[in-house]
Structure 1
Amino acid sequence: MGLITGVCTFLYHLPQIYKWLLKPYYITSFFMTIAFMVVRKAPGLCEHLATQREDGNSCDFDWRELEIIMFLTAIVMMKNRRAITLEQHIGNLFMFSKVANVILFFRLDIRLGILYLVLCVAFVMTCKPPLYMGPEYIKYFSDTTIDEELQRDSRVTWIVEFYANWSSECQSFAPVFAELSLKYNCAGLRFGKVDIGRYGEVSQRYRVCTSPLAKQLPSLILYQGGQEVMRRPMVDNKGRAISWTFNEENIIREFNLNELFQKSKKLNKTRGFKEEQLNGSEPEEGSNELQPETIEQEQPTESKKDQ
């Protein structure tokens, strides 16, 4: 039954997956991943390659190459235990496959190893993973707007993601954070993001380290009344992040999003009632007139295209 459900889910999302896989980054990564296999199996080429097989068949993997491939498989499986999106799973596979290919090519022929390594460097410098560009209700801050927005209204609760575009973890988390903003964003509960890879002074001001060794990216911080209430991941005395999985379930539980959302909806009703009193009029029964806060939430606050 579980297999049937998985197949049905895959077929349902197949058009989206097909469109996603057609992006240049993933197409190039795929061919670089299978490069060694193609070279080892290519007719007319494999006959001239070195091999340690007892039968002398240079068109098949030798025992050392099989060991490296099996070790790669184990590493990818261990790494993907913490992956939360399909992009992370595929990204881990591509990354470790390229590392294994470098070792395999250098072992096979140093000239092939140097050529493949140069291609990997050129790929990293010229081809970046595609950024998430789907729907979201997220306000993008700059170094001059974040303080003002967080302190503008003490009744508004903010959940702010501190991220950097170069971080693969941040890129993988982007669709998860966007989905949460679509579900929970309202006048009293807002979602924001700030690129601390671009605004370095913000990282110092809000005590979020951008070093890859600190593993603090992404960082989610909850603000109420302009003051920090909690953050994930937490940071120990040595400035290193305590391991934490950035999936939707953990965020909803740790940040009490359901409770915050219910309180925020009450805040919306209170604001609407006060405005009606100030205007001296009552809304007609069955009226479809929306409150200003509700109208505001029908459009995304900002998108990456505005950056």
Structure 2
Amino acid sequence: MGLITGVCTFLYHLPQIYKWLLKPYYITSVFMTVAFLLVRKAPGLCEHLATQREDGNSCDFDWRELEILMFLSAIVMMKNRRAITLEQHIGNLFLFSKVANVILFFRLDIRLGILYLALCLAFVMTCKPPVYMGPEYIKYFSDQTIDEELQRDSRITWIVEFYANWSSECQSFAPVFADLSLKYNCAGLRFGKVDVGRYGEVSQKYRVGTSPLAKQLPSLVLFQGGREIMRRPMVDNKGRAVSWTFNDENIIREFNLNELFQKSKKLKKGRGLKEEEQNGSQPEEGGDELQPETNNPEQSIESKKDR
């Protein structure tokens, strides 16, 4: 049953996979993933390779190579259990396949290992995963505009993603966040992004660690009236992110998006906060603020921001 489900999923995503394969990043990654297989099976070349097989057949995998490939398969399956998008599944396959190829080539011939490792380094330095370019309702902030936008109208709730272009997790999360913005964006609920890899002062002010060891990228923060209400992932007192899965189900549940959307969509775009104050009226239902999270002492520390 699982095999049938996997085949159906592959066929469903086949048009998208076909588009990916036309991009240089994925074309190169596919060739680097199967590099050892091609070398081991290439006629005219495999006959001159070393082997530990009892029959001396150097054009087939020996028992140690099969163990490495089986271990690779197990690692990829374990990592993909937490993968959210198809890009993450394929990215895990590419990454661990390259690691396995480095080991296999060095074991086969140190010269081939050095050559393949050099190609991997050149690939990492010159080829980057394609950036998501699909539809979205997201406003991109700079270090000069983020504070102004968040405080412009206290009735508007903002969900802001702090990201960095170099982070593979942020790139994988981009289509998920874009899809949520298409579903829930309205007059009183807005979505924004800021590149903390580019604007270091923003990461310091909003306490978003950009170190790969901190694992805080991406970070989602809910703002109301320019004030932080909650964030995911939460951060412990050592500055490390608490493990949290960035999928649409978790975000909708944790940020209560359905209820927020129902309240916020009633907000009229034509009315500002100053107009309401002049008329002596209260903000509409969409302006009701959530209370900041204070149950978790670690989260309360992270929820504070410079005023």
Judge same fold: TM > 0.5, yes or no: yes
- Measure the CA separation in 2 of the matches of 1:58 and 1:14: 35
Over residues 26-49 of structure 1, what are the superposed CA-to-partner deviations in whole Å (9 max), with x where a residue is unaligned?
A: 110000000001101111111100
SS in 2 for 1:160: strand
Over residues 154-183 of structure 1, what are the superposed CA-to-partner deviations in whole Å (9 max), with x where a residue is unaligned?
A: 000000000000000000000000000000
Structure 2 match to 1:36: 36
The verdict on how the C-alpha distance between 1:238 and 1:120 changes in structure 2, with shifts beyond 3 A counting, is same
State the one-letter code of the partner of 2:148: E
SS in 2 for 1:140: strand
Structure 1 match to 2:229: 229
TM score, norm. by length of structure 2: 0.85
Structure 2 match to 1:158: 158
SS in 2 for 1:29: helix
Query: In the alignment, does 2:218 pair up with 1:218?
Result: yes
**Deviating more after overlay: 13-22 vs 107-116:** 13-22
State the one-letter code of the partner of 1:53: R
The verdict on how the C-alpha distance between 1:63 and 1:8 changes in structure 2, with shifts beyond 3 A counting, is closer
- Measure the CA separation in 1 of the matches of 2:136 and 2:40: 46
1:211 CA displacement: 0.3
Question: Structure 2 stretches of 5 or more lacking a match?
Answer: 276-307
The verdict on how the C-alpha distance between 1:205 and 1:55 changes in structure 2, with shifts beyond 3 A counting, is same
- Measure the CA separation in 2 of the matches of 1:187 and 1:4: 43
SS in 1 for 2:266: helix
1:144 CA displacement: 0.5
1:62 CA displacement: 0.8
Structure 1 match to 2:91: 91
After superposition, where does 1:149-298 map in structure 2 within 5 Å?
149-268=149-268, 271=271
Contact kept, 8 Å, 2:187 with 2:269, in 1: the verdict is: no
TM score, norm. by length of structure 1: 0.85
Q: How many residues align?
A: 274
**Deviating more after overlay: 10-19 vs 96-105:** 10-19
- Measure the CA separation in 1 of the matches of 2:93 and 2:10: 19
- Measure the CA separation in 2 of the matches of 1:45 and 1:242: 49
Structure 2 match to 1:72: 72
- Measure the CA separation in 2 of the matches of 1:105 and 1:7: 31
Contact kept, 8 Å, 2:153 with 2:225, in 1: the verdict is: yes
State the one-letter code of the partner of 1:217: L
RMSD: 1.9
1:54 CA displacement: 1.1
Over residues 236-269 of structure 1, what are the superposed CA-to-partner deviations in whole Å (9 max), with x where a residue is unaligned?
A: 0111000000000000000000000000122239
Structure 2 match to 1:300: none
1:22 CA displacement: 1.2
1:4 CA displacement: 6.1
1:209 CA displacement: 0.2
State the one-letter code of the partner of 1:253: R
- Measure the CA separation in 2 of the matches of 1:8 and 1:165: 32
State the one-letter code of the partner of 2:178: A
Q: Percent identity?
A: 91
- Measure the CA separation in 2 of the matches of 1:72 and 1:6: 19
The verdict on how the C-alpha distance between 1:217 and 1:8 changes in structure 2, with shifts beyond 3 A counting, is same
SS in 2 for 1:236: coil
The verdict on how the C-alpha distance between 1:102 and 1:9 changes in structure 2, with shifts beyond 3 A counting, is closer
- Measure the CA separation in 2 of the matches of 1:73 and 1:9: 19
Query: In the alignment, does 2:126 pair up with 1:129?
Result: no
- Measure the CA separation in 1 of the matches of 2:143 and 2:196: 9
State the one-letter code of the partner of 2:235: V
State the one-letter code of the partner of 2:261: F
- Measure the CA separation in 2 of the matches of 1:57 and 1:6: 34
Over residues 210-233 of structure 1, what are the superposed CA-to-partner deviations in whole Å (9 max), with x where a residue is unaligned?
A: 000000000000001110000000
- Measure the CA separation in 2 of the matches of 1:224 and 1:187: 14
